Structure 1
Amino acid sequence: MSKEGKAKVLTDAEFERLMKITAVEAHAARNTAILMCLFGLGLRVHECSSLRLGDVTDSDGEIRQQFQIKIANSKTNRNREVFLSNPRVRRAIKSYIDHRRATEGPDLHPNAFLFRSQKGSRFTGNTMQQLAKRLFIKSGLPDSTSSHSGRRTFATRLINNGVGLKNLSCLMGHATVNQSAEYADTNPLILERAVRKIL
Structure 2
Amino acid sequence: MPKSGQARVLTAEQQDYVFDVIQHHRHPEKNTAIMQISFKLGLRAQEIALLQVKEVAKLNATGTDFKLLEVMSLPAAYTKGADAMGRSKSQYQRKTVSFDVSSFNQVIRQVEKLARAGATVNPEDYYPPVRKHKGKSRDLPLVDRALREALINYLRLRTDESGTLKPSSPLFITQKSGPYSPNTLQEHMKLILHNWSGIEKASSHSGRRTLITNIIHKQKKSVKVAQKIAGHVNPSTTLIYEEPPEEEISEALNGIQK
Please indicate the TM-score interval, normalised by the length of the shorter structure: 0.7 to 0.9
- How far 1:58 sits from its partner (Å)? 2.1
Structure 1 counterpart of 2:74: 69
Stretches of structure 1 lacking an aligned partner (at least 5 in a row): 190-199
SS of match in other structure, 2:202: coil
Correspondence 1:138 to 2:143: no
Correspondence 1:88 to 2:146: yes
Matches within 5 A, 1:119-198: 119-136=176-193, 137-142=195-200, 144-159=201-216, 160-186=218-244
SS of match in other structure, 2:23: helix
The amino acid across from 1:73 in the alignment is Y
Structure 1 counterpart of 2:26: 26
- How far 1:5 sits from its partner (Å)? 7.4
Q: Is the 8 A contact 1:166 1:177 kept in 2?
A: yes
Q: Is the 8 A contact 1:41 1:82 kept in 2?
A: yes
Which is worse superposed, 35-44 or 66-75? 66-75
SS of match in other structure, 1:81: strand
Q: What TM-score comes out, normalization by structure 1 length?
A: 0.87
The amino acid across from 1:85 in the alignment is V
SS of match in other structure, 1:90: helix
Give a deviation string over 1:95-123, Cα, whole Å, max 9, x none: 10011111111x31111000001110111
The amino acid across from 1:183 in the alignment is Y
SS of match in other structure, 2:73: strand
Q: Structure 1 residues 53 and 151 mapped into 2: Cα distance closer, same or farther (>3 Å)?
A: same
- How far 1:74 sits from its partner (Å)? 1.5
Q: Structure 1 residues 119 and 4 mapped into 2: Cα distance closer, same or farther (>3 Å)?
A: farther
Q: Structure 1 residues 81 and 3 mapped into 2: Cα distance closer, same or farther (>3 Å)?
A: farther
Counterpart Cα distance in 2 of 1:175 and 1:71: 11
- How far 1:130 sits from its partner (Å)? 1.0
Q: Structure 1 residues 4 and 45 mapped into 2: Cα distance closer, same or farther (>3 Å)?
A: farther
Give a deviation string over 1:128-181, Cα, whole Å, max 9, x none: 111111112111110x11101111001112121122101110010011221111
- How far 1:3 sits from its partner (Å)? 8.3
Correspondence 1:109 to 2:109: no
Stretches of structure 2 lacking an aligned partner (at least 5 in a row): 61-65, 81-133, 249-258
SS of match in other structure, 1:156: helix
**RMSD over aligned Cα atoms:** 1.9
Structure whose alpha-carbon radius of gyration is higher? 2
Give a deviation string over 1:27-72, Cα, whole Å, max 9, x none: 1000010001111110001100100001101244211111222121
Structure 1 counterpart of 2:118: none
